[in-house]
């Protein structure tokens, strides 16, 4: 889960959580394209693209897309500080799957 590891800061290049969340919200609103999003955060490696596809799938399956984005932001903010045992990609993936 390279993309998640980049968001929680355990793999370089680190993705700033606030900027990622802001861009996700802009993408949700249709203000930017997925291509622009991927370019901005250098989502090009196979691992990153696979993680991105998984994350988009979770977003698409969510019952409240705005709430999904807000909860995702909270999870990554906590992970960035290693709070509440949010410190590795597996834990993070399990927490993301739990978002309705």
**Helix (H/G/I), strand (E/B), else coil: 86:** coil
Q: What does the domain layout of the chain look like in residue ranges?
A: 2-97
DSSP string, 12-50: SSP--HHHHHHHHHHHHHTSS-HHHHHHHTT--SHHHHH
Compare 28 and 1 and report the one with higher pLDDT.
28
pLDDT above 80: residue 2 = yes
Write the pLDDT tens digit of every residue in 35-68.
999 999 999 999 999 999 999 999 999 999 989 9
Please report the pLDDT score of residue 84 as a whole number.
Answer: 82
If you ran DSSP here, which 8-state letter would residue 56 be given? Answer: H
């Amino acid at each position: 889960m390279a993309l998640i590891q980049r968001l929680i800061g355990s793999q370089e290049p680190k993705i700033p959580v606030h900027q990622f969340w802001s861009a996700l919200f802009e993408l949700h609103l249709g203000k930017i394209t997925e291509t622009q999003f991927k370019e901005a955060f250098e989502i090009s490696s196979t691992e990153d693209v696979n993680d991105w596809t998984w994350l988009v799938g979770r977003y698409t399956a969510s019952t409240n897309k705005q709430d999904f984005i807000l909860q995702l932001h909270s999870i990554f903010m906590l992970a960035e500080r290693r709070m509440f045992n949010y410190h590795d990609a597996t834990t993070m993936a399990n927490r993301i799957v739990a978002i309705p």
